[in-house]
C-alpha cells in the first residue's frame, strides 16, 4: 500500500513522468479520471482493502501539475457546492437524563453508517459544536453518543495533520517515516458533549469507549488499523481535563497554521493531545530510542559557561531570544539577591533588553520552554546515577504588597479574613541518593483560586491537587528515557491521594516508583483495622537514628498553640513494615476503583526531646520492601525530601524572588524560571564544597577568581587589609 507522499514521489520519477507525458500526448481527449485509473494500474496503487487509490492519485497528479511536470486535461463540469444532509430542525434534547454517569441507561457509541444517523450527526455539529462545521477530511469515521434518554453528543475522525511540530517531536519520527506512516495517525477533529448535558466524567468515559472501538472500526472500513489518535483543545476556552482523565498525553501546541501548514492560515493556537492505540507504535514506525548522553554533575558549573549550558538550547521561537536569555541568567547570577539593574550596573540598553524579554508576547516564553535546556541537562546528569529521587513539593509566594501586579491568586487568609495574594510553585527536583541536586525537571507556577462553591466530587483533573499527578508524569518520562536508572518519585503527605497511585497502576511501559508519606488513615481490604493501627501492631524490624531538620518557631494564634524553635537533631525511631491492600475511598469519583496493593513503612519516635513533635511517619511505596535493608533504604530516601525545602529557602532568600517588582504574573514567572536554576546552582555549589572538598577550584571558578582566592589564602590575619586581633 502506498500513501500520498509516496505516490507523488513515484510520479516524479523520470520514467513515470515521461510515461504520463506520452500518454497525454497520445490521447488528448483523455479525462482526468481515466488518467488516474491508468496510473493506479501501472504503479499498482491500492489501499489496505485492495481498491484503487483513485482520490489520492488524482490529488497527486494535480500537485505534480503545479510543479510543472505536465499539463492535465481540462476538468469536465463545474464543481458543485458541498451541501450536507441534515434534519433542518434541532435534535431533540435528552429527557430525564441523570447527573451521575453510572445512572445513565443504554449509554453506547453508534457508528454512523446510514443516512438517518448522518443527518442527526450533521445537525448536532452544525448547531451545537463550537466550530459549527460537519465536514471532515480524508478517511472518515463518525460516532453518535446514544442513550435511553436521547442523543448526548457525537465524535468525528479524519486524516491527521500533514505536519505538526509538537506531535512530530513527541513521536520522534523523521520526514521519511512521517510520509510512510502518517496514515496510521487518526485525527479526532470533532468531539461534542451537548451543552445541555451536565454529567461529571461523561466526556472522559466516552473517550475511553472510543479508544477501544475506533481501531477495529477503522480497519473494517478502510483495511488499515491506526496506531495513534490526535486531537486539539482550544485554550483557555477548554482545559482538556477530560483528555487527561482518559490518559491522553499533551504533546505541545499548534502554531495556528491549519492542517496544511500554511503560514497565513490564521487559525487559533491549540493544545495537542495524543493517545497511543498500540504500545509499540514507535517500534513499528522504526523510531530509534532517544539516546541520553551522561553529564557529570560538576561539569559546566563555572561562572563563564554555566548559563550557556543550562539555558543555551532553549527553544524560544527566535535564536536571538535564546542568546538574550543566556546573557540575562549570567548577569543575574553575579548578584542573585539584587535587582537586574544592580547586576548590569544600571546600564540602559541591557535593562531595556531585559524588560522587553520579560514582557514579550510570544507564547513560547513560558516556564516549560525557559527550563527546557536545564531539564535536558538534569536528565543527562541523572543518567550517571543508579537511582534518582524526583522530589515534589509546593511553596507559596506571598506577593500581597504587589498591588499593581496582575494575574495573582489567593494563597491564604489570616484570622481577620484578609486574603493573601500571590503565586504557587509546584516543582520537581532530581537528587541522587546522597542528596546532591541534579537539577529541576519542572516548575509549575500558577495563581491559585479558591475552591469555595465548587463541586467537591468533580474530577481530579479539575482540582488543584492534580499537580501531583502531573509531577509524577515527569518522573515517568525520565524513567522511560533512562532504562538503567531507578527513578523514585518522593512526596509529602499532601500527595497521599488514591488517584495518584491508581494513575501509576494504569500506565504502560517502564514505570517510576512512588514513595509518599501517608496522611489519611485508610480502610484495608484484608482486615477491619485501619492503616495506622495495622502498621503500629506490625513486628518491630529495627531501631535506627535518623536526622530531623531544625524546627522553626511558630508563634501562637487563637486557633493554633504554636511551637518553639528547636535545632536539628538525631531522632531514635522504631521501624516496622508490612504489605497492605488499601480500599478505594467512597467518594463519587473513586468508589469504583479497584483496591491498591502497596508496601507500608511505619516510623515512630518514642522519646522525643522536650517541646519537639515526635516523629511519626507512615510511608507508602510501590517498591517491594521484603527486608529491613530495603525499608531503611526507603527511609533514607524519604529523608532526602528536605532538599527541596532547602531549595525553596535559597530561592526566596538567596535569590530574593519575593523582591521582584514586575507588574504581571506572566513576567514574574519568567523571572522565577531564571532564578530557579540560579538557586539550584547555588545549592549545588554549597553542597559540593561541603561534601566534595577535594574538588578542584577551577571546576567552579574561572582563572581570575582562582588567582584572587590564592592571594587571599596566602594573606595572614595581620597582613595589610585585615584587622589585627586587637581590633
Give the pLDDT score at 263. Answer: 42
Summarised one tens digit per residue, pLDDT across range 269-287 is 788 999 999 988 999 999 8
Of the listed ranges 198-212, 321-335, 412-426, the least confidently predicted one is 412-426
CB of 427 within 8 A of CB of 419?
Answer: no
Question: pLDDT band for position 262 (50/70/90)?
Answer: very low
Question: pLDDT band for position 725 (50/70/90)?
Answer: very low
Alpha helices (runs of H) in 441-589, residue ranges in sequence order: 466-481, 498-506, 531-536
CB of 607 within 8 A of CB of 630?
Answer: no
Task: Tell me: do 119 and 255 sit in the same domain.
Answer: yes
Q: Which residues contact 212 (CB under 8 A, 6 or more apart)?
A: none
Task: Look at residues 631, 621, 434, 638 and name the one whose alpha carbon lies nearest to residue 543.
Answer: 631
Higher model confidence: residue 291 or residue 194?
Answer: 194
Confidence check: pLDDT of 723 > 70? no
Summarised one tens digit per residue, pLDDT across range 669-715 is 999 999 999 999 999 999 887 766 666 666 666 667 677 767 777 76
Question: pLDDT band for position 232 (50/70/90)?
Answer: very high
Task: Tell me: do 47 and 144 sit in the same domain.
Answer: no
Is residue 656 in a domain?
no
Q: Is the pTM here over 0.85, yes or no?
A: no
Q: At residue 600, what are phi and psi to the nearest 5 degrees?
A: -120, 140
Give the pLDDT score at 613. Answer: 83
Of the listed ranges 249-253, 401-405, 452-456, the least confidently predicted one is 452-456
Structural domain including 240 reads 101-285
Cα separation of 667 and 361, whole Å? 10
Domain boundary, last residue among 260, 285, 310: 285
Task: Tell me: do 138 and 227 sit in the same domain.
Answer: yes
Task: Tell me: do 105 and 53 sit in the same domain.
Answer: no
Of the listed ranges 32-46, 424-438, 646-660, 687-701, the least confidently predicted one is 687-701
Confidence check: pLDDT of 72 > 70? yes
Task: Tell me: do 162 and 17 sit in the same domain.
Answer: no
Question: pLDDT band for position 151 (50/70/90)?
Answer: very high
Give the pLDDT score at 9. Answer: 76
Confidence check: pLDDT of 727 > 70? no
% the chain with pLDDT above 90: 52
Is residue 153 in a domain?
yes
Task: Tell me: do 115 and 178 sit in the same domain.
Answer: yes
Other Cβ atoms closer than 10 A to 527:
13
Mean pLDDT within 152-156: 96
3-state secondary structure of 393: strand
% the chain with pLDDT above 70: 90
3-state secondary structure of 497: coil
Task: Tell me: do 155 and 45 sit in the same domain.
Answer: no
Residue for grid cell 448522518: 118
Summarised one tens digit per residue, pLDDT across range 16-35 is 999 999 988 888 888 888 89
First to last CA, the chain: 90
Summarised one tens digit per residue, pLDDT across range 360-398 is 988 888 898 899 999 999 999 999 999 999 999 999 999
Q: At residue 505, what are phi and psi to the nearest 5 degrees?
A: -60, -35
Task: Read off the C-alpha cell for 609.
Answer: 526531646
Is residue 320 in a domain?
no
Is residue 655 in a domain?
no
Question: pLDDT band for position 3 (50/70/90)?
Answer: very low
Task: Look at residues 331, 340, 341 and name the one whose alpha carbon lies nearest to residue 306.
Answer: 331
Task: Tell me: do 277 and 147 sit in the same domain.
Answer: yes
Task: Tell me: do 196 and 52 sit in the same domain.
Answer: no
Of the listed ranges 63-77, 127-141, 664-678, the least confidently predicted one is 63-77
Confidence check: pLDDT of 49 > 80? no
Is residue 215 in a domain?
yes
Task: Tell me: do 270 and 210 sit in the same domain.
Answer: yes
Domain boundary, last residue among 258, 285, 312: 285
Cα separation of 580 and 388, whole Å? 25
Confidence check: pLDDT of 265 > 60? no
Give the pLDDT score at 664. Answer: 92
Give the pLDDT score at 253. Answer: 79
Q: Which residues contact 356 (CB under 8 A, 6 or more apart)?
A: none
CB of 522 within 8 A of CB of 532?
Answer: no
Alpha helices (runs of H) in 340-486, residue ranges in sequence order: 340-343, 348-358, 367-370, 372-382, 466-481
Give the pLDDT score at 700. Answer: 61
Domain boundary, last residue among 285, 308, 340: 285
Mean pLDDT within 133-162: 92
Give the pLDDT score at 558. Answer: 63
How many domains is the chain built from?
A: 3
Is residue 201 in a domain?
yes
CB of 468 within 8 A of CB of 497?
Answer: yes
CB of 68 within 8 A of CB of 11?
Answer: no
Task: Tell me: do 201 and 261 sit in the same domain.
Answer: yes
Q: Radius of gyration over alpha carbons of the chain, in Å?
A: 31
Q: How many CA atoms lie within 13 A of 564 on its CB side?
A: 6
Is residue 420 in a domain?
no
Task: Tell me: do 240 and 131 sit in the same domain.
Answer: yes
Higher model confidence: residue 188 or residue 402?
Answer: 188
Is residue 543 in a domain?
no
Mean pLDDT within 571-600: 90
Residue 200: give its domain's CATH number.
3.40.630.30
Confidence check: pLDDT of 5 > 60? no
Task: Read off the C-alpha cell for 706.
Answer: 582562582
Q: Average pLDDT over the chain, rounded to whole?
A: 87
Amino acid at each position: 500500500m502506498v500513501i500520498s507522499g509516496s505516490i507523488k514521489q513515484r510520479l516524479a520519477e523520470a520514467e513515470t513522468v515521461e510515461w504520463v507525458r506520452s500518454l497525454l500526448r497520445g490521447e488528448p481527449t483523455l479525462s482526468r479520471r481515466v488518467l488516474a485509473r491508468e496510473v493506479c494500474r501501472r504503479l499498482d496503487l491500492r489501499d489496505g482493502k485492495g481498491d484503487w487509490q483513485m482520490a489520492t492519485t488524482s490529488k497527486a497528479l494535480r500537485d505534480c501539475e503545479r510543479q510543472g511536470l505536465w499539463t492535465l486535461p481540462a476538468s469536465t463540469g463545474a464543481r458543485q457546492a458541498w451541501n450536507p444532509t441534515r434534519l433542518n430542525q434541532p435534535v431533540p434534547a435528552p429527557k430525564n437524563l441523570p447527573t451521575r454517569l453510572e445512572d445513565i441507561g443504554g449509554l453506547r457509541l453508534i457508528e454512523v453508517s446510514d443516512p438517518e444517523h448522518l443527518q442527526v450527526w450533521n445537525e448536532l455539529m452544525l448547531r451545537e459544536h463550537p466550530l459549527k462545521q460537519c465536514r471532515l477530511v480524508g478517511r472518515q469515521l463518525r460516532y453518535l453518543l446514544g442513550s435511553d434518554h436521547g442523543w448526548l453528543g457525537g465524535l468525528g475522525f479524519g486524516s491527521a495533520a500533514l505536519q505538526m511540530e509538537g506531535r512530530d517531536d513527541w513521536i520522534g519520527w523523521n520526514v521519511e517515516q512521517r510520509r510512510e506512516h502518517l496514515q496510521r495517525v487518526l485525527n479526532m477533529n470533532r468531539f461534542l458533549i451537548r451543552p445541555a448535558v451536565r454529567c461529571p466524567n461523561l466526556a472522559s468515559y466516552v473517550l475511553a469507549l472510543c479508544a477501544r472501538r475506533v481501531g477495529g472500526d477503522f480497519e473494517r472500513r478502510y483495511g488499515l488499523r491506526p496506531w495513534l489518535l490526535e486531537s486539539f483543545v482550544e485554550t483557555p476556552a477548554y482545559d482538556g481535563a477530560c483528555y487527561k482523565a482518559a490518559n491522553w498525553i499533551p504533546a505541545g501546541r499548534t502554531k495556528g497554521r491549519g492542517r496544511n501548514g500554511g503560514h497565513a492560515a490564521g487559525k487559533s493556537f491549540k493544545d495537542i493531545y495524543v493517545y497511543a492505540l498500540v504500545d509499540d507504535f514507535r517500534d513499528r514506525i522504526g523510531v530509534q530510542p532517544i539516546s541520553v548522553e551522561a553529564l557529570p554533575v560538576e561539569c559546566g558549573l563555572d561562572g563563564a559557561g554555566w548559563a550557556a549550558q543550562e539555558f543555551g538550547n532553549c527553544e524560544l521561537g527566535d535564536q536571538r531570544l535564546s542568546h538574550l536569555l543566556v546573557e540575562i541568567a549570567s548577569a543575574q547570577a553575579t548578584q542573585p539577591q539584587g535587582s537586574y539593574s544592580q547586576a548590569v550596573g544600571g546600564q540602559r540598553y541591557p535593562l531595556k533588553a531585559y524588560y522587553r524579554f520579560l514582557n514579550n508576547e510570544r507564547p513560547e516564553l513560558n516556564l516549560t520552554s525557559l527550563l527546557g535546556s536545564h531539564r535536558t541537562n538534569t536528565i543527562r546528569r541523572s543518567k550517571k546515577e543508579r537511582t534518582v529521587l524526583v522530589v515534589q513539593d509546593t511553596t507559596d509566594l506571598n506577593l500581597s504588597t504587589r498591588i499593581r501586579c496582575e494575574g495573582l491568586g489567593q494563597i491564604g487568609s489570616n484570622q481577620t479574613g484578609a486574603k493573601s495574594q500571590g503565586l504557587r510553585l509546584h516543582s520537581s527536583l532530581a537528587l541522587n541518593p546522597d542528596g546532591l541536586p541534579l537539577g529541576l525537571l519542572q516548575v509549575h507556577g500558577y495563581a491559585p483560586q479558591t475552591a469555595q462553591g465548587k463541586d467537591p466530587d468533580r474530577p481530579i483533573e479539575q482540582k488543584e491537587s492534580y499537580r501531583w499527578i502531573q509531577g509524577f508524569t515527569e518522573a515517568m518520562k525520565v524513567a522511560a528515557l533512562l532504562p538503567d536508572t531507578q527513578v523514585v518519585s518522593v512526596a509529602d503527605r499532601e500527595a497521599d491521594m488514591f488517584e495518584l497511585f491508581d494513575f501509576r497502576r494504569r500506565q504502560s511501559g517502564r514505570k517510576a516508583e512512588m514513595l509518599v508519606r501517608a496522611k489519611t488513615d485508610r480502610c484495608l481490604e484484608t482486615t477491619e483495622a485501619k492503616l495506622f493501627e495495622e502498621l503500629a501492631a506490625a513486628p518491630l524490624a529495627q531501631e535506627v537514628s535518623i536526622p530531623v531538620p531544625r524546627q522553626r518557631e511558630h508563634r501562637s494564634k487563637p486557633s493554633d498553640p504554636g511551637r518553639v524553635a528547636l535545632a536539628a537533631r538525631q531522632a531514635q525511631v522504631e521501624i516496622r513494615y508490612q504489605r497492605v491492600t488499601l480500599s478505594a475511598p467512597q467518594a463519587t469519583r473513586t468508589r469504583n476503583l479497584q483496591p491498591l496493593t502497596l508496601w507500608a513503612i511505619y516510623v515512630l519516635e518514642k522519646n522525643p526531646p522536650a517541646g519537639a513533635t515526635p516523629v511519626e511517619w507512615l510511608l507508602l511505596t510501590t517498591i517491594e520492601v521484603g527486608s529491613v535493608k530495603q525499608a531503611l533504604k526507603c527511609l533514607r530516601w524519604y529523608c532526602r525530601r528536605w532538599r527541596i525545602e532547602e531549595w525553596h529557602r535559597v530561592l526566596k532568600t538567596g535569590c530574593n524572588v519575593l523582591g521582584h517588582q514586575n507588574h504581571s504574573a506572566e513576567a514574574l514567572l519568567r523571572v522565577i524560571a531564571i532564578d530557579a536554576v540560579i538557586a539550584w546552582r547555588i545549592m549545588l555549589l554549597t553542597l559540593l564544597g561541603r561534601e566534595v572538598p577535594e574538588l578542584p577550584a577551577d571546576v567552579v571558578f574561572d582563572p581570575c577568581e582562582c588567582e584572587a582566592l590564592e592571594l587571599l589564602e596566602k594573606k595572614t590575619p595581620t597582613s595589610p587589609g585585615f584587622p589585627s586581633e586587637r581590633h
